[in-house]
Amino acid sequence: MKTVAIAGSSGFVGTNLKRVFEAKGFKVLGIKREELKDNKKLISIIEEANILINLSGANIINRWTQKYKKLLRSSRLDTTNALVNAMSEAKNKPEVFISTSAVGIYKNDACYDEQNYKYEDDFLGNLCKDWEEAALKAKNLDVRTAIFRFGIVLGDGGAMAKMLTPFKLGLGGTIGNGQQDFSFIHIDDLTNAYEHVCENSSCEGIYNLTAPRPTNNYKFTKALGKVLNRPTILPIPEFVFNLIFSEGAKVLTDGQCVTPKRLLDSGFEFKYKSIDEALTHLIKKS
């Protein structure tokens, strides 16, 4: 029996990955916060793991005070450094290490993939760059290393759960003019991508975890209203989000156009390529 160790296993993505791997017959170990601070215990977990997955990080959708920005950095960088340091001391190292990042690393002035891009020079962009740099140190330990840059993950929980209530009440609408890009991925495609990369020894490096047909906020809003059979006529001014989240509003009011070139090139097949396909499946399922 193979073993998967997951840091951040209690979150939305982590619980879905746990379910999928256990259904495949894997033993799944959740790495607790206190274990990340106990190097001896962390090494013992890592020595048992064939696959190590890093999902740790404080919720990015929040009010970005200076204190919270420090938490966003520490919850990602400290965890990643602890995992890499423990791997360096482990006698038996994982076969593959998959860490997380976000499409917020890219600028929003064009549509980018992993090989054609411009990086954003702001708090989120620089956080992603530092996060990835910390994770890629695992390559020096001869551990096959991949980094998944998440788009907005749509599923039964997470961001989708927060979006549904106002839409079901007929209060859903675009954010501002709705023209900001909205790169997303269905949770099933996301978990399938983890399986794909784990099973294919040639897969390593950076991967965008986004559907192959990115959309924008307006089209997402209209698609969700259509499958729910609810009106979407009340746009929400951007200043409302700025008042609530300050600098953190950028996550909601801004967006990146991102395509998953390297996943597609590796032979991965998406089940839900468009926003209509993804939302239709999720709403019927719920």
Residue 177 maps to a domain: no
Please indicate whether residue 260 or residue 252 has the higher confidence score (pLDDT).
260
The answer to whether the CB of 249 falls within 8 A of the CB of 242 is yes
pLDDT given at position 78 = 97
Q: Give helix then strand counts, H and E, for the chain.
A: 12, 12
Question: Can you give the CATH number for the domain in which 105 is found?
Answer: 3.40.50.720
Residue 250 maps to a domain: no
Q: For residue 120, give its domain range.
A: 3-153+186-210+258-271
Residue 233 maps to a domain: no
**Angle (nearest 5°) at CA 31 between 25 and 32:** 135
Residue 253 maps to a domain: no
pLDDT digits (tens, 9 = 90+) for 21-78: 999 999 999 999 999 999 999 999 999 999 999 999 998 888 899 999 999 999 999 9
